[in-house]
């Protein structure tokens, strides 16, 4: 996976993966965010998990992005949240399957 970046385009902040080729940019796996406050990283991962991220193309001198890496605290939050999301995925599906099974059997 490419490194997650903070990318500002035309005054709007996004989290996403930025690639540049010949002065044109592709921002993939992107989510518009208001700021990097508490919960932003978890909101990003939930959007990624549910397939609600965007891909945008821009460049050619009209819109140049301002790009920043996650700071060490944000990177640590991302690393911890990715671990938590991985654990949640391992336990969520079996729990849903058990609930559906109980529903079919008519168990409360």
Q: Which residue has the tokens 């385009």?
A: 9
> What does residue 7 show for φ and ψ, rounded to 5 degrees?
-125, 125
Alpha-carbon distance 51 to 54, whole Å? 9
Give the pTM.
0.80
Alpha-carbon distance 68 to 66, whole Å? 7
Residue (of 63, 28, 31) closest to 44 by Cα position: 31
Structure-token pair, residue 5: 């970046």
Q: What is the DSSP string of 10-44?
A: TTEEEEEEEEEETTEEEEEEEEEES-S-TTHHHHH
For β-strands 5-9 and 66-69, DSSP reports them as: antiparallel
For every one of its 108 residues, what pLDDT tens digit does the chain have, with 9 covering 90 and above?
469 999 998 889 999 999 988 888 999 999 999 999 889 999 999 999 999 999 999 876 667 789 999 999 999 999 999 999 999 988 888 888 888 888 898 876
């Amino acid at each position: 996976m490419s490194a997650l970046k903070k990318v500002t385009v035309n005054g709007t902040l996004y989290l996403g993966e930025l690639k540049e080729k010949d002065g044109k940019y592709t921002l993939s796996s992107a989510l518009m965010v208001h700021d990097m406050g508490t919960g932003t990283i978890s909101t990003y991962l939930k959007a990624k998990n549910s397939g609600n991220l965007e891909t945008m193309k821009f460049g050619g001198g009209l819109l140049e992005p301002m790009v920043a890496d996650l700071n060490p605290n944000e990177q640590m939050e991302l690393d911890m949240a990715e671990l938590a999301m991985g654990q949640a995925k391992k336990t969520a599906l079996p729990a849903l399957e058990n609930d559906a099974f109980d529903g079919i059997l008519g168990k409360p």
